[in-house]
């Protein structure tokens, strides 16, 4: 990711409470930057959030977070801390490809749960 893209993401993160409070909170922001600036290994893993931004689908991740987990710019008090922690994209911090793959699937499952819940409610 080049410096211009990082600047864009950092600015967007400052404006989007779902990114700043749930998906990439302040306490992991530096680690997130380091993980995503490393040279890719043979598995070529990439951040799902950054890929969604690049491909124009970031709102598919952030919209359900805003709808179900946020109250204004803060997480709802009813949102369990473990659930919030599961939505932080840290799977890339694992040292080997197999562990990253396993954790990436778990992380993606959490995102898909939110998206499916959103689709299910729209049909009602």
Specify the pairing of strand 70-71 against strand 74-75: antiparallel
Q: Which helix (H) or strand (E) covers residue 70, if one does?
A: strand 70-71
Provide the b/e sequence for 89-114 (b: ≥16 CB within 10 Å). Answer: bebbebeeeeebeebbeebeeebeeb
At residue 34, the pLDDT reads 83
pLDDT at position 124: 42
Dump pLDDT digits (tens) for 21-57. 999 999 999 988 887 776 666 556 678 899 899 899 9
pLDDT, average across residues 62-72: 94
Tokens 């709802």 sit on residue? 76
Say if residue 99's pLDDT is above 70: yes
pLDDT-based confidence at 97, cuts 50/70/90? confident
- Put simply, whether the predicted model's pTM sits higher than 0.75 gets the answer yes
- Measured CA to CA, the distance from residue 115 to residue 82 in angstroms comes to 19
Instruction: Give me 115's structure tokens.
Output: 């998206």
Cβ atoms 50, 1 nearer than 8 A: yes
């Amino acid at each position: 990711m080049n410096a211009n893209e990082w600047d864009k993401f950092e600015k967007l993160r400052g404006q989007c409470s779902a990114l700043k409070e749930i998906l990439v909170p302040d306490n992991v922001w530096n680690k997130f930057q380091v993980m995503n600036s490393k040279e890719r290994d043979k598995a070529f893993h990439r951040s799902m959030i950054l890929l969604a931004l690049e491909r124009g689908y970031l709102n598919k991740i952030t919209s359900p977070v805003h709808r179900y987990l946020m109250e204004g710019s803060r997480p709802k008090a009813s949102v369990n801390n473990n659930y919030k922690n599961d939505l932080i994209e840290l799977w890339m911090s694992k040292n080997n490809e197999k562990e990253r793959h396993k954790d990436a699937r778990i992380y993606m499952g959490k995102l898909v749960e939110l998206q499916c819940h959103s689709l299910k409610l729209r049909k009602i």
